[in-house]
Amino acid sequence: MDRPALRYAVNGEVRLAYEIEGDGPPLLLVHGLAYCRLGWGPAASLLAERFRVVRFDNRGVGDSDAPRGPYSVGVLAADALAVLDAAGVERASVVGVSLGGLVAQQLAASQPERVDRLVLVGSTPGGLGSHGPPHASLLLLTQAPALQHDELLRRLVTNALSSRTLAERPELVEEILAYRRLRGPRLGAWLSQAAAGAWFGIVGRAGSISAPTLVLHGGADSVMDPHNGELLARGIPDAELVVFEDAGHLLFWEEPERFAAAVGEFCGPAAVLPGAATGES
């Protein structure tokens, strides 16, 4: 199947690559650290069966520009807004994973009129009281300087998957690795993205969120402590928490059908009651 046409939005002097797939209510996908718009596995195309999916490359990755840092979550949220503007979307549901979840929170807090529904995947509220990376990720960070590039990539991928997935679907590691090798970020931009997430982790988001919110988290997430999902659900009014018990940080790769179904049920158009279209009682 041919890829959708590559398009560009502009925020200041920075070009941001994006594409649109499918028809239906608009759905903006915001990815995490070092992943570009192609890093959703099968989930994006499954969502495009129900939605007009807009996915883009954050600054620093993929086909977007990689200006020198520092970056901030506010700047990344402004990039996401520029993509919505370029795509002609006034209001969309927004799905953000990990760092993208921080960006989605900032967008929903600062531009509530542009966000219909919010889905936060493997993310954190940041600020005091949030939980830092689990031990496995901290250990990997200390070992990273001594690892060859390809071994580091492999360790990053395996750390982001659950033990069940590694045992039952070892081929998924190779699939994600092939993507990561082909679409690796520039080191400077990676560091700038990481710094944006780290600063958000200290201060948290600016403002409250009024959009209906679904929080998805892998119960076996070794990158973002699952307790952060609980904090998000408690901190956002009426937010709903769904835990994928046997999934890791990349739950949308591990269980794409379940992920797409959860997002589709939450963000899809409400069922039309009999007579609603005609005004009959």
Q: What is the CATH number of the domain that holds 167?
A: 3.40.50.1820
How far apart are alpha carbons 241 and 260 in whole angstroms?
A: 15
Pairing relationship of beta strands 52-56 and 92-97 according to DSSP bridges: unpaired
Establish if 15 belongs to a structural domain. Answer: yes
Q: What is the pLDDT of residue 275?
A: 37
How do residues 146-164 score in pLDDT, each as one tens digit? 999 999 999 999 999 999 9
Establish if 277 belongs to a structural domain. Answer: no
The number of beta carbons lying within 10 Å of the beta carbon of residue 194 is: 16
Establish if 42 belongs to a structural domain. Answer: yes
- pTM for the model stands at 0.93
93: exposed, middle or buried (Cβ count in 10 Å: 0-12, 13-18, 19+): buried
Q: What is the pLDDT of residue 1?
A: 60
Total domains in the fold of the chain: 1
Establish if 17 belongs to a structural domain. Answer: yes
Find out whether 178 and 195 touch, Cβ atoms under 8 Å.
Answer: no
Q: What is the pLDDT of residue 277?
A: 38
How far apart are alpha carbons 218 and 229 in whole angstroms?
A: 9
Establish if 168 belongs to a structural domain. Answer: yes
Q: What is the pLDDT of residue 11?
A: 98
How far apart are alpha carbons 123 and 101 in whole angstroms?
A: 5
Q: What is the pLDDT of residue 55?
A: 98
Establish if 273 belongs to a structural domain. Answer: no
Establish if 150 belongs to a structural domain. Answer: yes
Q: What is the pLDDT of residue 274?
A: 34
Which structural domain range is residue 167 located in?
Answer: 7-267
Residues 6+ apart with CB under 8 A from 154: 173, 177
Establish if 34 belongs to a structural domain. Answer: yes
Q: What is the pLDDT of residue 281?
A: 30
Listed as ranges, residues in the chain with pLDDT below 50 are: 271-281
Q: Give alpha helix (H) positions in 55-186.
A: 73-86, 99-110, 135-143, 149-159, 163-168, 170-182
Find out whether 263 and 159 touch, Cβ atoms under 8 Å.
Answer: no
